[in-house]
Amino acid sequence: NETVITVEIAKTLEEQQKGLSGRNLLQSDTGMLFVYESPTKPVFWMKEMNFPIDIIWINNGKIVGFEENLIPEDPPTTRYSPVFLVDTVLEVNSGFIKFNNLKINDELDILVSN
């Protein structure tokens, strides 16, 4: 639907393990993008999260699944993982999926600029 967001890319294993943990908020129309060298089924949790998020599971530029309105847990006990292999994961503010009416098989254009 032509929605454009700015993302921070979690490139290193350390950045991917930390994710959005410890942050107080995520600005609207922003997110964190996790890019994997080969398709995988990564496991996410809400460790040290301070706000709810949506997780979008992506493979070959298409949404293959998502998790909505994930609430921080203390201590974190729930683990989230895609049903299908993914090469990219996008974390955004809670409600993003619903607001943008995202569906399985929707295509996402990911443009990287320097």
- For 32-88, what is each residue's pLDDT tens digit? 999 999 999 999 999 899 999 999 999 999 999 999 999 999 888 999 999 999 999
Does this model's pTM top 0.75?
A: yes
- 110 token code pair: 């990911």
Contacts of 58 (CB under 8 A, 6+ apart): 64, 86, 87, 88, 89, 90, 108
